Amino acid sequence: MFPLGSVLLPHMPLPLRLFEPRYLRMLGDVLEDETLAFGVVLIERGQEVGGGDQRFAVGARARILNIDGAEAFVTLDSVGAERFEVVRWYEDDPYPRAEVRVLPDLEWDERYLPALSAAESAVRTALAVASEFVEQRYGAVVELADDPAAHAWQLAGVAPVNELDRLAFLRSTSMEELLESVRARSAEATESFRAGWA
């Protein structure tokens, strides 16, 4: 497990720099058992470096795509995969570990196309408005996946919202719920940016 200060969503990229000995050890174990994946959860209280943090009990698996570096400092590129719920935490020795239950994928259906379109419009509007006031990681014209389910998750990942909103997206129990949450929070973000800077 890799606790972070940000939420990993399915189909979203996650670049990481590993330098703490415990996470270098974790990476070695992941590569040894050939899973090429590890869990990522949001830190509820505490910091990414040093341990002693408290964590939320839902996360996503990060699938490793590329690794570069030496023994003391490694960079890796990964992408969010399936979601999970932590059943129980083990001791953080030598690194955070947990027993998890994989959550079902959110099923896509063509009837969600209008909701996908509405969510996309809200996200792109929010990104355009937000970028007028604050530098954003993603621009309003960011390219997203062609697959509609991946596209929906990527909209949730690029929306200019806070990490607790993103955690709520991760906890969605249906594609319809995810799309409506993304649309609603993005619309609220647009209004907040406009009101805060008026």
Is 98 found in the same domain as 19?
yes
| Residue of 115, 120, 140 whose CA lies nearest to 130 | 140
d(CA 12, CA 62): 9
For residue 198, which amino acid is it? A
Number of structural domains (the chain) is 2
Is 181 found in the same domain as 145?
yes
- Tell me how far CA of residue 108 lies from CA of 14, 119, 124, 158, 177, in angstroms: 24, 15, 21, 20, 12
Is 173 found in the same domain as 120?
yes
Residue ranges making up the domain that contains 145? 110-196
CA angle 138, 141, 146 (to 5 degrees): 100
Enclosing H/E stretch for 149: helix 148-158
Q: Residue 136 in 3-state DSSP?
A: coil
Is 132 found in the same domain as 83?
no
- Where do we find the tokens 């606790």? 3
> What was the pLDDT predicted at 198?
46
Is 153 found in the same domain as 82?
no
Is 72 found in the same domain as 127?
no
Pick the last residue of a domain from 56, 78, 102: 102
d(CA 100, CA 85): 5
Pick the last residue of a domain from 45, 77, 102: 102
Can you read off the two tokens belonging to residue 84? 């999970």
Is 96 found in the same domain as 16?
yes
Is 77 found in the same domain as 132?
no
Query: Per residue of the chain (198 residues), what is the pLDDT tens digit?
Result: 999 999 999 999 999 998 888 888 898 899 898 789 999 999 986 555 555 557 899 999 999 999 998 777 899 999 999 999 999 999 888 888 999 999 999 999 999 999 999 999 999 999 999 988 888 888 888 999 999 999 999 999 999 999 999 999 999 999 999 999 999 999 999 999 888 754
Pick the last residue of a domain from 85, 102, 119: 102
> What was the pLDDT predicted at 72?
77
> What was the pLDDT predicted at 135?
80
Is 87 found in the same domain as 60?
yes
Is 143 found in the same domain as 118?
yes
| Residue of 167, 173, 159 whose CA lies nearest to 9 | 167
Cβ–Cβ under 8 Å, residues 86 and 57: yes
